[in-house]
Structure 1
Amino acid sequence: MAQSKASGGARPKNMRRTLRTFVGYMGHAKFHMLAVAVLVTVAGAGNLAGTYMIKPVVNRIAAGDVAGFTADVVATAAIYAAAVAAALAYTQVMVHAAQHIVFDIRRDLFGHIMRLPVSFFDRTRNGDVMSYFTNDVDTISEALNNSFANMMQAAVQTVGTLVLLLVLNWRLTFVTLACDAVVVLYTRFSGRRSKRYFAAQQTTLGALDGYVEEMMSGQKVVKVFNHEGTNLAGFRRLNQDLRRTGTSAQAYALTMVPSTVVIGYVNYAAVAVLGAMMAIAGQTDVGSLASYLVFVRQATMPLNQLTQLGNFVLTALAGAERV
């Protein structure tokens, strides 16, 4: 593995190489990842099908068909049960796959460190080297455990929701697509900026770890040469840099979810009013409108999830580049 530090405030260097290497490590657990992909698809499709079943259930109630209503409710329960079972299965498989991938990364990183010349350790703090194995690899592990499978499911639900919205009422879908376009544009705007600061945050954190480790291990020398004031000033400078980069990264990243939620409420209100007018005019049935409104309410959820999990992925990629 090559050492690659992102410069403060700049975009990560060699991002393509980092992604290519990271995907290669994911290939070490390719059968686990394939199982995760299948189970995630089943879970996402089950959630979509369960929501779509609102349409026949409501129409059965409106028609007074008790037998059909009972059969549809049972079918809906079976669909959701299958989705829950698939979700439970993919989380367990993903845990095993993530630990296998991280094990290989730490093994290769340690082997690479053992082959480096002495000059590398002369110019690199011990704490910075240690942070590769702890902080940076841990961010990769956390992203694998908590982000990638959920992002896959969010992507499946986003595409499936769009298809079902078009099936239920293609005219109302134009309103939803307009609101979703606003969400995507703002997410890209905020994501580009937070990505730079997340990379800078990882670099600054490594520098601070290295500085603290050296000061703690060399306390006798610090005391002998009466260097406490100078070292404290250096710590305050690094701590201030970490505060600044962390604040900038979170300031952009944490606006994604609230903005998406607000736009989702606007979308829901507009669709509810227009859909009610169409139902009164006989241009759609009550079941389709009820199912559509639930889909609209849920449409922002995978987008929220994608933006929120994107923060973990940005941090993981910044850490992976350092590794």
Structure 2
Amino acid sequence: MSELQKGPADGGPGGPRPGAPTGPGPSNFGFGPGRGGPGGMMGMQVQKAKDFKGTLRRLTGYLKPHRTALLIVLLTAVLSTVFSILGPKIMGKATTKLFEGLMGKINGVPGAEIDFHYIWQILVVLAVLYVISALFGFIQQYVMASVAQKTVYDLRKDVNEKLARLPLKFFDSRTHGEILSRAVNDVDNISGTLQQSLTQFITAFVTLIGVVVMMLTISPLMTLITIVTLPLSFLAIKMIAKRSQLYFKGQQKALGELNGHVEEMYTGHNIVKAFGHERKSVAKFNAVNEELYQSGWRAQFVSGMIMPIMGFIGNIGYVLVSVAGGILVLHKSITIGDVQAFISYSRQFAMPITQTAQIANIIQSTIASAERIFELLDEEEEVLEAAAPVALVSSQAAAVVGKAMKPKGDVSFNHVQFRYKEDTALIEDMDIHVRAGQTIAIVGPTGAGKTTLINLLMRFYELNGGSITIDGVNLTQLRRGDLRSLFGMVLQDTWLFNGTIRDNIAYGRIGASEDEVVAAARAAYADHFIRTLPDGYDTILNEEASNISQGQKQLLTIARAILADPAILILDEATSSVDTRTEIHIQHAMNQLMQGRTSFVIAHRLSTIRDADLILVMNHGTVIEQGTHEDLLAAGGFYADLYESQFSNRKRQDVS
């Protein structure tokens, strides 16, 4: 497409359409409790998937190409954990040997001494074990990082390609924030889980099994004592989490209100200042902020009690184990080194359980994110291109190949039927025939279907019946890219990207030279103001192009359209944002650009389309009148009423 003024959501013509949501989408200026926050996973509402098994199976499909790497991750995780778990048991032998030598000296046993050589050997073995454990842990993280990034790369690639294949109606029915959240936040959530939580889950599971096995080898009785304390821990966690969840819910509600208020005050800053509502705005912010504070500190305090209570219960188990271990040592059932090792294992016992509980919540959230992504990937796509598309060449391509292949611009709507919703017809039976080089004005009240007609012409939406042809070729027989390259568009809502003014104008034609860019700017009467800027054509526009005026932005988009030299023009009040004198200049430039081209002009001010070859009067999706300006006025119908109402309003304004 030569010059497409992209709408905010979809890359197509701007303006609201039936079924499109209005107003800003959900904002996220604030931050809720994160994974690492105190009690964050214990008290937060966890988003759950509707089909956990199905989504997990589908997400696993993205991991299948990396089976070998995942096997390495599993193996290294097991080895790293096993070598780490063996440490306390071996250390216990050193403690036993030290204790026996010391007690022998105290009791005066002949030849009793501490075997430091044996202890030194034990320490060397321990050092080797821990180094090997760390090495396997490094390999595990390195391989998993590669797997996670490759998996997310494939997922992100599929999402990006899917967005390019989705029809315009998909973007019209969803907020920008919702689409971005799925394409960015949900993918990042999966990335973080694959990178960290998956390996933590494997390590926690292996640690739990290994610790239980090692404790059983030392003393089944003390193992039973340790396991008995688990129900107390689970009961405490359940009671606290239930209470803190209420506070977290209130915190998230207050946070949402605060985010919404901040966004409104930020985007409407000029209005707030103009009407003097600063104090009212600050007062509301303080009230909501106080509510967030009260909910937040209660949520964090209650959820923060989990660790102290878990520590208290753990200490009870520690005391019971110590007493039982001491009794067993006195009866010489086990050695003192085994008691030390067992205490160390009992300390490790609760850690993987807590980690597993946290990771389970994270995985729930991750599967929910994956489900949202797969919902996007399963959306209905655009109708496939024709198997053997007809090749129509744009004016740019014709100039390159040097052949007379430029389309004429004959456009016909033949018994067109269209509806946004299946049960509500918008266009019933539209017949329009436009000859090449004609200027067609489309007028009518808001919601009459003017923009819809342009959407159908550019095949942003598929017809429910009938056909549209260009030079006798049905649009369905053309590639969408070829079709849209025939059009140049200048809309009331400008679209410019972050970059230099030169790049923004040159966007209209690939490979445009410096002279052609400057010539287009002069034809659009933009060259003068561009040269007054500090960096001229190298001036960089910010993301919203707010560092130039609205009128100047419109001049740049018109220059882009002039540079594109399209076969068919679509103009939507292209001069509405400029002053009267500039409008006259631009109108002359547009008149020259429209010479010999089929032009569709969406008009709101009827005085600007008097010279149109054909005026289409639309209402409720139907062309109710068509003809020249004089013919329609003479008919005294809907168009005449619209024109008289605008003319009367203009006279009243002039008098006032």
TM over 0.5: yes
- In structure 2, do the counterparts of structure 1 residues 158 and 189 end up closer, same or farther at CA, with 3 Å as the change threshold? farther
Question: Aligned in 2, Cα 1:93/1:258: closer, same or farther, shift over 3 Å?
Answer: farther
CA distance in 1, matches of 2:117, 2:353: 37
Counterpart of 2:177?
Answer: 127
> Letter of the aligned partner of 1:148 in structure 2?
L
Deviations 1:245-273 (A, max 9, x none): 99999899766555433322221122112
Q: Corresponding residue for 1:165? A: 215
**Which residue does the alignment assign to 1:74?**
124
Q: Which amino acid aligns with 2:342?
A: Y
Q: Is the 8 A contact 1:126 1:214 kept in 2?
A: no
Counterpart among 53, 69, 73 of residue 36 in structure 1: 73
Q: Which amino acid aligns with 1:164?
A: M
- Higher Cα radius of gyration: 2
* CA distance 1:293–1:113, change in 2 (3 Å): same
Report the residue type matching 1:47 in the other structure: S
- Kindly tell me: are residues 259 and 111 of structure 1, through their superposed partners in 2, closer, same or farther at Cα, counting changes over 3 Å? farther
Contact 1:155 1:302 in 2 (8 A): yes
**Cα offset for 1:321?**
2.4
Matched position secondary structure for 1:13: coil
Q: Is the partner of 1:282 in helix, strand or coil?
A: coil
Question: How many Å separate the matches in 1 of 2:96 and 2:46?
Answer: 56
Tell me which amino acid in the other structure corresponds to 2:177: G
Report deviation, 1:306: 2.5
Task: Give the Å deviation of 1:63.
Answer: 3.2
Report the aligned-residue RMSD: 4.5
Equivalences for residues 122-201 of structure 1 within 5 A: 122-184=172-234
Structure with greater contact order relative to length (CA < 8 Å, sep ≥ 6)? 1
Which residue matches 1:315? 365
Residue aligning to 1:298: 348
Paired position in structure 2 for 1:104: 154
Q: Are the aligned partners of 1:36 and 1:93 in contact in 2 as well (CA < 8 Å)?
A: yes
Partner of 1:54: 91
Separation of aligned partners in 2, 1:190 and 1:317? 26
Q: CA deviation at 1:168?
A: 0.4
Q: TM-score, normalised by structure 1?
A: 0.76
**1:46 to partner: Cα distance:** 0.8
Q: Deviations over 1:194-234 (max 9, x none)?
A: 99x99xx99xx99x9999999999999xxxxxxxxxxxxxx
Asked whether the equivalents of residues 88 and 341 of structure 2 are also in contact (C-alpha less than 8 Å), the reply is yes
Could you tell me how far apart the structure 2 residues matched to 1:132 and 1:212 are? 23
Change (3 A) 1:136 1:247: farther
Q: Please list, as runs of the form range in 1=range in 2, the aligned pairs for 1:189-268 lying within 5 A after superposition.
A: 257-268=307-318
Q: Which has more helix, going by share of residues?
A: 1
What is the distance in 2 between the residues matched to 1:271 and 1:9? 36
- In the alignment, is the contact (CA less than 8 A) between 1:260 and 1:304 conserved in 2? no
Structure 1 pair 25–9 and aligned structure 2 pair: CA distance change class (3 A): closer
CA contact (8 A) 2:78 2:206 kept: yes
Which AA in structure 1 matches 2:163? I
Deviation of 1:302 (Å): 2.0
The letter of the residue matching 1:297 is: R
Q: Distance in 2 between matches of 1:217 and 1:117?
A: 30
Is the CA contact 1:40–1:152 (under 8 Å) kept in the aligned structure 2?
A: yes
Percent identity over the alignment is: 29
Alpha-carbon shift at residue 154 of structure 1 (Å): 1.2
C-alpha distance in structure 2 between counterparts of 1:250 and 1:318, whole Å: 25
Q: 1:173 to 1:37 in 2, by over 3 A?
A: same
Distance 1:56 1:9, change over 3 A: closer
Q: 1:275 to 1:313 in 2, by over 3 A?
A: same
Of 296-305 and 250-259, more deviation after overlay is shown by: 250-259
- Provide the residue aligned with 1:95 in structure 2: 145
Cα deviation for residue 145 of structure 1 reads 1.6
CA contact (8 A) 1:33 1:97 kept: yes
The gaps in structure 1 that reach 5 residues or longer are: 1-7, 221-238
How far apart, CA to CA, are the structure 2 residues paired with 1:101 and 1:185?
38
Letter in 2 for 1:152: I
Shift of the alpha carbon at 1:127?
A: 1.6
**Relative to structure 1, is the Cα distance of residues 28 and 159 closer, same or farther in structure 2, using a 3 angstrom cutoff?**
same
Counterpart for residue 12 of structure 1: 49
58, 61, 65: which one aligns with 1:21? 58
> Which amino acid is 1:140 matched to?
I
Please give the TM-score of this superposition, normalised by the length of structure 2.
0.40
Native 8 Å contact 1:131 1:209 kept in 2:
no
The answer to whether the 8 Å contact 1:257/1:304 transfers is no
- Once the two structures are TM-superposed, the CA of residue 165 in structure 1 deviates from its matched residue by 0.5
